Structure 1
Amino acid sequence: MALEDDIRILSGVGLFSELTDEQLRLLAFGAEEVRFAAGRVIFAEGAAAECAYVVASGRVVLYRDGGGEAVALSRLGEGSIIGELALIAPGKRLTYAAAETDVIAIRLSRSLFHRILEEYPEVAARLHARMLRDLEEFLKRIETIAPRFAD
């Protein structure tokens, strides 16, 4: 894919909505295009999370181990980001991802993302505010369904 295609795809990802065209260009320039054949595992549950992927084409399924059986949690297509928490901090994958169809993805490393945040601290501040809003909304949704799980 061309650099302009990567920039277009990255610009549609909510996490990167605060980035300028110049910053998106830097992100795209430092990213890596990767391809996965249908059925191939992209990352395993419990593996070290060192990068995120943005689906450029194709469809990815996220699975979780449900007592020795794979349980599909969601299907993601073009413009979806997978494993975005890996961009912020080290951790383990909470799911495993597999290509449902042939997939082209944009691989973004944590070190690349951190370099952009260090070079543009205003982006880091806006990202922090956005993540805080997202977390607050998530907690509100949990509060609304929590009574269903009470004893």
Structure 2
Amino acid sequence: MALNDDIALLSLVPLFAGIDEDKLRLIAFGAERRRLNRGQQLFREGAPADCAYAVASGSFTLTHNLVDGSTETIDTVGRGTLLSELAMISFVERKFTATAEEDSEVIRINRPLFRRMLEEYPEVAVVVETRIKTNLQTMISNMQKLARKFR
């Protein structure tokens, strides 16, 4: 794929929406593409996460292991989805397993590349920080709603 196609894809990712093309070019240029066949796992739950993946084509089923050993499907995601965004800024474990539902392609964004963009474009860091905080606040709010059900 051409660099411009990768920039267009990154602009679809909510975390990067509205960020100038020239700034996204840095990520697109340094990112790696990876192809997966239908049924192939992109990553497993519990594995250390050193990067995020933007889905370029195809779709992925996200599953979570339950205590009884079975698996639960969380979601199916497609083009423009960013998987494991926190791995771009912090050491975390994968919270789910991502398996290709069809032949698919992703763009791998590693932590050093993402940090470089934030260092070179501090104004982007402010936008990204705000979006990550909002995402975390939404997640915490959803967890609090669930916690009420268990009281």
What TM-score results when the alignment is normalised by the length of structure 1? 0.92
Residue matched to 1:100: 101
**What's the CA shift for 1:72?**
1.2
Query: Are 2:59 and 1:59 equivalent residues in the alignment?
Result: yes
CA distance in 1, matches of 2:140, 2:94: 21
Residue matched to 2:15: 15
Is contact 1:18-1:123 (8 Å) kept? no
Change (3 A) 1:68 1:141: closer
List, as ranges, runs of 4+ consecutive aligned residues in structure 1 with deviation greater than 4 Å: none
- The one-letter code sitting in structure 2 at the alignment partner of 1:56 is A
Change (3 A) 1:48 1:140: closer
Q: Deviation per CA, 1:77-107: give whole Å up to 9, x if none.
A: 1111111111111111111111111111111
Query: Are 2:124 and 1:120 equivalent residues in the alignment?
Result: no
**What's the CA shift for 1:122?**
1.5
Structure 1 regions of 5+ residues with no counterpart?
none
- The one-letter code sitting in structure 1 at the alignment partner of 2:122 is P
**What's the CA shift for 1:137?**
3.2
CA distance in 1, matches of 2:42, 2:142: 29
Percent of aligned positions with the same letter in both sequences?
Answer: 43
Q: Secondary structure at the match of 1:56?
A: strand
**Alignment of structure 1 residues 6-85 onto 2, 5 Å:** 6-66=6-66, 67-85=68-86
What TM-score results when the alignment is normalised by the length of structure 2? 0.92
Structure 2 regions of 5+ residues with no counterpart?
none
> Does 126-135 or 95-104 show the bigger shift?
126-135
- The one-letter code sitting in structure 2 at the alignment partner of 1:114 is R
Q: Deviation per CA, 1:24-66: give whole Å up to 9, x if none.
A: 1111011111000000111111111011111111110111111
CA distance in 2, matches of 1:72, 1:56: 21
CA distance in 1, matches of 2:56, 2:19: 18
Is contact 1:18-1:126 (8 Å) kept? no
Aligned residues: 150
Change (3 A) 1:75 1:136: same
Query: What RMSD in Å do the two structures reach over aligned CA positions?
Result: 1.5
